[in-house]
Amino acid sequence: MRSVILLLVLLAFTFSCKQKEETPKVEEKQEIVSESLLKNIGNPSKGKAHLPRLVTQNGALHMTWVEQEDSLAVLKYASYKDQNWSTPKEITSGTDWFVNWADFPALAVNGETVLTNILQKSADGTYDYDIKLNLIAGNKVVKSNFLLNTDGIPAEHGFVAMRPYDDGFYVSWLDGRDTKNKKKEDNQMTLRAAIVTLDGTIKEDTVIDSRVCDCCNTAIGITYNGPIVVYRDRSKGAEEIRDTYIVRWVDGSWTTPKAVYNDQWQLNGCPVNGPAIATQEENLVVSWFTASQDMPRVLVTFSQDNGATFGTPVRVDAGMAIGRVDTAFLKDGSALVSWLEPLGDQVVLQAVRVYQDGRKEAPITITTTSAARASGFPQIEIMDTTVYVTWADLQGDSSQIEMVSFEL
């Protein structure tokens, strides 16, 4: 499966752009954000830095990132408030990590407690690695490098998503322990979820889907009813339909997985292009990439009932999208969605405001970037009326983290 990843990453450039009658019309107008509207935000990353992750919490912007020098990888954390960064804190480091453009460390903040993770090699196999969690509170390390997956099987464990939940965190991840089964019918990647308490106790570790796509990121949100997880599913049998699915915690148990929308994308491999989600009280917004019907595109849909039902998806890209989506709610219930797509001879990071009734504003271009895997997944966060955007800027064999903000 891994041998097809590079080909699939370039999928957007090779598909036919023929459109069918039912394809939603895409606005052609492009509004480029002028430099006078974009504010460059210096950040404390140094050297070869990449894999930034942003979270807004407690009136501050929180960021983790990875710095690398030769074989040494260092996970760092800092917060941004009142236009100032805190002193960067080294959370953990190692020479035995699995560092990957698509399987980046996750980040969540609950009060003063910060939870994040790294992936540590567990055996000689290329994709044998475990999820190690780290908890910090202020300048105190609560618990460091403790296992999330406790199966003890050398297999792939990763693509972590996490959110604050009650007195702790809810965490989801892809778990490959069953991929080492000898019986082919049981040899599947699974989706699991668990609660991590503020002292690092792991409880209620549960399989919530027994067959999912192997290497697309998961996304987790918290609604009035409780946690929900969106992810790329994998149908049973030979069909290989890989649409975006949702599972919800309702009345003390997880619901049966169901499609957010039936794209019917048939693909004999993993596109390494998972969904994004944001929640606001009982409202959800989900954005995702699909290339069903040979049309690479980015779709957005809303739910007003904690994810039980969804409206008709809205297409936001201008054609031949690459994906790598992110999304965030605004106070008025609209959402900002970001993604990568070609624009002329360049690849650009786009963003658009979408409303729950299906309206959308003209997309804006945040920056030019690269379709290369190393450019990773750009991140957006919104605090009050300010949008913060960060990404990895490639510089030959190196990279640095860039960040801008603008007002809506």
What the block records as the tokens of 51 is 């894999």
Model pLDDT, residue 185: 66
Task: Give the residue among 103, 213, 93, 225 at the shortest CA–CA distance from 161.
Answer: 103
Model pLDDT, residue 10: 38
Q: Write down the residue that tokens 């760092």 correspond to.
A: 76
| CB 320 within 8 Å of CB 291 | no
pTM score, two decimals?
Answer: 0.91
Phi, psi (rounded to 5 degrees) for 233? -85, 175
Model pLDDT, residue 395: 86
| CB 246 within 8 Å of CB 291 | no
364-369 and 253-254 strand pairing: unpaired
| CB 298 within 8 Å of CB 287 | yes
In angstroms, the CA 337 to CA 354 distance is 7
Model pLDDT, residue 172: 98
Beta bridge pairs of residue 346: 343
| CB 161 within 8 Å of CB 55 | no
Ramachandran region, residue 296 (left: φ > 0; alpha: ψ -120 to 50; beta: rest):
beta
Q: Could you list the pLDDT tens digit for every one of the 408 residues in the chain?
A: 443 333 333 343 333 333 333 334 444 444 445 555 899 999 999 999 999 999 999 899 999 999 999 999 999 999 999 999 999 999 999 999 999 999 999 999 999 999 999 999 999 999 999 999 999 998 899 999 999 999 999 999 999 999 999 999 999 999 999 999 877 667 899 999 999 999 999 999 999 999 999 999 999 999 999 999 999 999 998 899 999 999 999 999 999 999 999 999 999 999 999 999 999 999 999 999 999 999 999 999 999 999 999 999 999 999 999 999 999 999 999 999 999 999 988 999 999 999 999 999 999 999 999 999 999 999 999 999 899 999 999 988 899 999 999 998
Number of CB atoms found within 10 A of residue 182's CB: 6
Task: Give the residue among 359, 303, 254 at the shortest CA–CA distance from 25.
Answer: 359
Model pLDDT, residue 238: 86
In angstroms, the CA 171 to CA 164 distance is 9
Distances in Å between the Cα of 319 and the Cα atoms of 105, 205, 293 are: 30, 40, 13
